[in-house]
Amino acid sequence: MLNQAIGFLNLMVGSIFAFGTYLAFHDKRINTITFFVLPLVHFFAGFGLFKLKAWSRYLTLSLACFYFISGIFALQSVSSVVDYVPIAQLIRYVPFGLLRLASPSVVIFVFLMVLPAVTVALLTPKPIAVRFESWLGGRFSWSAPLPVVVASGIIFTYALLMHSDLASFLSPSGRNVLGFEFNSLQSQILHYVEFSLPFFLALGFVSSGRLVFYGTLAFALYYWLPFLLSDTKPAFLKDFKFVFFGAGWALTALSLLIYRSFFLGHGVWLEKRGTSKLKEETAPIGDTLKPVEEKVKPRFVFVLDRRWVYLILAIAFVSFISGSMVYLWSSGRLSFSKGKRKQSVSLGPPNFRFEGASIDRHGTFAVIQGNVVQVGQTVQGYQVEAIESDRVLLSKEGKHYSLDEKGNLKGMV
């Protein structure tokens, strides 16, 4: 029953996010591929939990890791949740009184950190785990070492947060990577690899295998090489995202080396992890009891079934994302200038931007840098003068500005 409740929650969240993605697509506010990926992954996890598929637990843990890390970044003001989760367009449907009940930081903490952690905690106990993987023995509730399971979630999150910029897929600019110059086409191909490789490594991480083992170590080295070869190391260390995921990749590589037998000798490792034991059956023979030894072999359905699921996931994912990007590009819904992209110059503080508005009979309010404000209130030293559907008008020290969803703070006459 618990798995069905969590499965239903995943399906509900996936449906809500799919609607949010549709609204963002209609309003031309899609910035990242993650807008398309999240609803799809939630649907897969939801149906998998209903069917007691073992891979669905690991997919749910990866989603929980994504939300948890997104919450950390949001609370640290290093990135905005609305860039990766299609919720900005849904704010207009939330009742005004409900949004005033809690501050944005509390909402982020509860929904992006506490709720995902509780979900994983509910799926972890042994009585629940054996419903998905009946061969698990002892005190273990995961078929892979826990550090390996957590590492898969970190890699999954890395792909969705660090290499999901839609503009890089559609109109990339030239790049210099480890001293090699890449033109726009080569940069586009490299960006596809930087996004898809960690994504698929994460999906297949708990399946073990030499390819996953060496591929993950190679990508961890690729992540750290720019820092190791750079003459401006302090600049890297000031980047919170780089340090955070750098630590994540280092811990991932460490877990690979510690549990290398899981990847390089998976069959032997599973035999030790499974429920191989002596089962004693007693049968009366005269006045004695005769123990009968029977070796119960672990079921390897999870490993075999999982590979087919990952293949289907990969095909569906690539088809869905490629088709969506082609349609976006051909329909003119999203357009990017060719060549080197110019960064918008903003007059405001970092990450200071309009994230959504709600206009109804109860009142008008906007979300700016995670703060819910009304006309007349002040945020970051700027007073809110007016709220529109796609921007907010501000004033400071007698000067007037407009702030849009991209963080462009422009002066007005």
Which residues on neighbouring strands pair with residue 296, listed in sequence order? none
Residue 206 domain flag? yes
> Helices (DSSP H) in 76-178: which residue ranges?
96-99, 104-109, 115-123, 126-132, 146-162, 166-170
Place of tokens 């023995």: 137
Q: Residue 73: which of 350, 346, 378, 374 has the closest Cα?
A: 350
For residue 322, pLDDT over 60 is answered with no
**Residues 317, 401: one domain?**
no
For residue 125, pLDDT over 90 is answered with no
> Which of 394 and 411 is assigned the larger pLDDT?
394
- Looking at mean pLDDT, say which of 43-52, 74-83, 224-233, 261-270 comes out highest: 43-52
For residue 115, pLDDT over 50 is answered with yes
The arithmetic mean of pLDDT across residues 145-163, rounded, is: 90
For residue 297, pLDDT over 60 is answered with no
> Which of 121 and 341 is assigned the larger pLDDT?
121
Q: What 8-state DSSP symbol labels residue 370?
A: T
The answer to whether the beta carbons of residues 282 and 289 sit under 8 Å apart is: yes
For residue 135, pLDDT over 80 is answered with no
Give me the pLDDT at residue 281, please: 34
DSSP per-residue string spanning 257-287: HHTHHHHHSHHHHHHHHB---BPP---EETT
**Residues 362, 263: one domain?**
no
Q: Please state, in angstroms and rounded to a whole number, the distance separating the CA atoms of residues 236 and 247.
A: 13
Q: Which range is least confidently modeled, 28-37, 164-173, 211-220?
A: 164-173
> Which amino acid appears at position 173 of this protein?
S
Give me the pLDDT at residue 359, please: 66
Residue 343 domain flag? no
Half-sphere exposure for 379 (CA within 13 Å, toward CB): 24
Q: Which range is least confidently modeled, 60-64, 120-124, 206-210, 355-359?
A: 355-359
**Residues 185, 315: one domain?**
yes
State phi, psi for 230 to the nearest 5 degrees. -85, 150
Share of the chain above pLDDT 70, in %: 73
- Looking at mean pLDDT, say which of 222-236, 272-286, 300-314, 376-390 comes out highest: 222-236
Give the total number of structural domains in the chain.
2
The arithmetic mean of pLDDT across residues 387-406, rounded, is: 80
For residue 271, pLDDT over 80 is answered with no
**Residues 312, 396: one domain?**
no
Residue 385 domain flag? yes
**Residues 264, 169: one domain?**
yes
Residue 277 domain flag? no
The chain-wide mean pLDDT, for the chain, equals 76
Q: Please state, in angstroms and rounded to a whole number, the distance separating the CA atoms of residues 268 and 9.
A: 37
Give me the pLDDT at residue 276, please: 43
- C-alpha separations of 294 from 269, 273, 274, 281, 291 in Å: 20, 17, 14, 9, 10
Give me the pLDDT at residue 220, please: 92
**Residues 225, 303: one domain?**
yes
Give me the pLDDT at residue 287, please: 42
- Looking at mean pLDDT, say which of 148-162, 228-242, 331-345 comes out highest: 148-162
Give me the pLDDT at residue 403, please: 81
- C-alpha separations of 244 from 28, 34, 105, 161, 266 in Å: 31, 20, 20, 12, 30
Q: What band does 366 get if pLDDT is binned at 50, 70 and 90?
A: confident
**Residues 358, 327: one domain?**
no
**Residues 308, 378: one domain?**
no
Interacting residues of 296 by C-beta distance below 8 A, sequence separation 6+ = 275, 276, 277, 279
**Residues 155, 22: one domain?**
yes
> Could you list the residue range(s) of the whole structural domain that residue 115 is in?
2-271+297-331
Residue 247 domain flag? yes
The answer to whether the beta carbons of residues 153 and 64 sit under 8 Å apart is: yes
Residue 192 domain flag? yes
**Residues 306, 397: one domain?**
no
> Which amino acid appears at position 267 of this protein?
G
Dihedral sign (CA 128, 134, 137, 141): negative
Give me the pLDDT at residue 358, please: 67
Give me the pLDDT at residue 303, please: 41
Which residues on neighbouring strands pair with residue 284, listed in sequence order? 289
Q: What 8-state DSSP symbol labels residue 30?
A: -
Q: What 8-state DSSP symbol labels residue 393?
A: E
The arithmetic mean of pLDDT across residues 102-131, rounded, is: 84
Q: Residue 237: which of 250, 252, 225, 227 has the closest Cα?
A: 227
Q: Please tell me the pTM assigned to this model.
A: 0.74
Q: What band does 166 get if pLDDT is binned at 50, 70 and 90?
A: confident
**Residues 361, 396: one domain?**
yes
Q: For residue 81, count other CB atoms closer than 10 A to its CB.
A: 20
Q: Please state, in angstroms and rounded to a whole number, the distance separating the CA atoms of residues 78 and 241.
A: 7
Q: Residue 75: which of 44, 40, 113, 102 has the closest Cα?
A: 113
> Which of 264 and 310 is assigned the larger pLDDT?
264
Q: Which range is least confidently modeled, 30-39, 173-182, 192-201, 286-295?
A: 286-295
Residue 286 domain flag? no
- C-alpha separations of 255 from 14, 145, 228, 248, 380 in Å: 31, 9, 21, 11, 42
**Residues 404, 325: one domain?**
no
Q: Residue 54: which of 234, 270, 231, 251 has the closest Cα?
A: 270
Q: Can you list the pairs that 181-189 forms with residues at least 24 positions away whose Cβ atoms lie under 8 Å?
A: 184/338, 184/339
Q: Please state, in angstroms and rounded to a whole number, the distance separating the CA atoms of residues 239 and 350.
A: 13
Q: What band does 279 get if pLDDT is binned at 50, 70 and 90?
A: very low
Residue 227 domain flag? yes
